[in-house]
Amino acid sequence: MRQTFTLLFFLLAAPFLSLGQVNFKPGLVVTNGDTLKGYINYQEWIKNPEAILFKHALTSQEQQTFTVHNCTYFEITGLEAYHRYVGPVSMNELKTANLPSSPDIAAVTDTVFLKELVHGPYAALLSYADAVKTRYFLKDVAGDAVQEMLYVRYFSYEMGRDIKVLTPYRGQLWGLATKYERGTAALEGNIKRIRYSESDLRQIVSQINGLSAHEHKQLKKNNSKIRFLAGMGINRSTLSYQTLDASRETQEASVAYSPALLLGFDTFLNRNTRRLLVRSELYAAKASYNLHKERTWPGTKSREHNDYELDSYTFTYSPQLIYHAYSTDALKVYVGGGFSVHYSHYTQNKNTTSRFYHDDITGEPDYTTTRDNYLGLYSLWYTVPLKAGVVKSDKYDLGVTYFYSLKPGMNSSLKYNALQVSLSYLFTKQ
């Protein structure tokens, strides 16, 4: 079964892996003097990009590289926009493990691309992420001035070891709100409570720009990084004994085919590119196994037959990291893997032992014993899922998943693996 999955994996993914870093989308680049329209290689930028690839036509082989030195602005049409910024960039740490023992407001002068998060008639919210942290910037649209919104955390030893927080960014937001006469009592209260997070800062900047609470809620809904899915699958699972004395025993693995109902949701790292996501799946399946094992004793005519019957209902939670190696609006190809937790309820766990001491003339055993609750089975057990699949028109997901059992699995003496083929419908907002 493992070889089957490997073959499927390469059939689905290998032809496209070389294209994994190519994702040209319509966009424009503003240089130091010109505006160029064409296509930009749009990637899953966890950190703000330092350079981009651009070409004038989608079929063109000629590409140009733009950086902060020859580009003042670029945008992927309808998706993302970046502005060149020259000025101070704070370097203070925000992670608790790296906090200093006094306020750190050190900054370096740098030239970087800032990602535009919100743009309105009065204020714009931008961000810059690097290896140190994510910073947020506030732009006075009319004055065209950009300043980092400062946030400082440090350890204080005045009364034990406490974390102190400085929040100048709240004052910066209130100052811009009052400048444009947007400073209501309600907004002031909201500013005093907000965290230094993208979602909170988006809300306040949107309010400064005149967006109502309902409109902001709708905008947040449209910008959701969550997508739900539902589907059905067929499981082909194999159960065999983990230990085997080849000189004395022979066995036949049991194969079970069972339908599975799937529910889940995807969380995108970037809702626009949708190349990298975390998928959380829940599914339920029923399976029945019949294992047959024979044992002999060399030098005698004695032999033993064991027939093991196992029926189970299994509920599975499976988080997986998925990457789209090839991505277009019409077709996507992905690979991924993760970790699965299984909860099983066993309705039958029975073994029948038949012992033969003489020549098998009648075909009847000399004696037979049956034991219920034969094996000590685990209700919770674990597997590693490896997944590959295709997505058609952002609506239909055809996936193949191989589940590799981790010891002890459902029982230390049983070996389990499975192959699942599933078809899911993706509830994608257009």
**53 assigned to some structural domain:** no
How far apart, in whole angstroms, are the C-alpha atoms of residue 49 and residue 29?
14
Q: Strand 162-166 and strand 254-268: pairing?
A: unpaired
What local confidence, expressed as pLDDT, does residue 216 receive? 57
Residue pair 428/391 in contact (Cβ under 8 Å)? The answer is no
**70, 104, 258, 392 from 234: Cα distances, Å:** 54, 57, 6, 20
Q: How many CB atoms lie within 10 A of CB 277?
A: 24
- pTM score of the predicted model: 0.68
Which tokens belong to 177? Answer: 């709100």
Q: Residues 417, 238: contact at Cβ < 8 Å?
A: yes
Q: In total, how many domains does the chain have?
A: 2
Residues 420, 364 within the same domain: yes
Rounded CA-CA distance 279/229 in Å is 10
State whether 217 and 235 are in the same domain.
no
Among the candidates 222, 246, 278, a domain finishes at 222
The pLDDT of residue 140 is 94
Q: What is the pLDDT of residue 12?
A: 46
Residue 327 lies in a domain: yes
207-242 pLDDT, tens per residue?
999 876 656 555 555 566 789 999 999 999 999 887
How is residue 270 annotated by DSSP?
S
Q: Is residue 390 part of a domain?
A: yes
Per DSSP, the residues of 120-175 read -SSEEEEEEE-SS-EEEEEEETTTTEEEEE--EEEEE-TTSSEEEEE-HHHHHHHH
Q: Say yes or no: 337 and 378 in one domain.
A: yes
Q: Which residues contact 407 (CB under 8 A, 6 or more apart)?
A: 242
- The C-alpha angle with vertex 44 and arms to 99 and 340, in degrees rounded to 5, equals 80
Q: What is the pLDDT of residue 124?
A: 95
pLDDT on residue 384? 95
Q: Do 233 and 188 belong to one domain? A: no
Q: Are the CB atoms for 256 and 239 separated by under 8 Å?
A: yes
Q: Is residue 324 part of a domain?
A: yes
**In-domain check, residue 17:** no
Domain-located, residue 120: yes
Q: What is the pLDDT of residue 362?
A: 61
In a domain, 244, yes or no: yes
For residues 253 and 184, membership in a common domain is answered with no
Q: What's residue 333's pLDDT? A: 94
Radius of gyration of the chain (CA): 30
259 and 155 in a common domain: no
- Residue 169 sits in the same domain as residue 217: yes
Q: For 414-418, which contacts have Cβ atoms below 8 Å and span 24 or more sequence positions? A: 414/239, 414/240, 414/241, 414/242, 414/375, 415/239, 415/240, 415/241, 415/242, 416/237, 416/238, 416/239, 416/383, 417/1, 417/2, 417/237, 417/238, 417/383, 418/1, 418/235, 418/236, 418/237, 418/238, 418/383
Contact 362, 376 (CB under 8 A): no
Query: What pLDDT, on the 0 to 100 scale, is given for residue 220?
Result: 57
The predicted structure's pLDDT at residue 299:
74
Domain that holds residue 330: 226-427
Domain boundary among 180, 203, 222: 222
pLDDT tens digits for 147-204? Answer: 999 999 999 887 778 899 999 999 999 999 999 998 889 899 999 999 999 999 999 9
Q: Alpha-carbon dihedral of residues 101, 102, 108, 111, nearest 10 degrees? A: 80
Predicted local distance difference test score (pLDDT) of residue 23? 81
Q: Are residues 137 and 231 in the same domain?
A: no
End position of a domain, from candidates 171, 197, 222: 222
What are the residue ranges in the chain where pLDDT is below 70? Answer: 1-22, 212-224, 243-247, 359-362, 429-430
> Which candidate, 12, 64, 15, 17, places its Cα nearest to that of 37?
64
Residues 200 and 231 in one domain: no
How many of the other CB atoms lie within 10 Å of CB of 57?
10
- 251 and 201 in a common domain: no
- The alpha carbon torsion through 241, 247, 248, 254 (nearest 10 deg) reads 30
- What CATH number is associated with residue 338? 2.40.160.20
Residues making up the chain, counted from first to last: 430
Strand partners of residue 118: 125
- Clarify whether residues 251 and 326 are in a common domain: yes
Report CA 149 to chain centroid distance, whole Å: 30
Are both 378 and 255 inside the same structural domain?
yes
Residue 295 lies in a domain: yes
CA 139-47-107 angle, to 5 degrees, is: 55
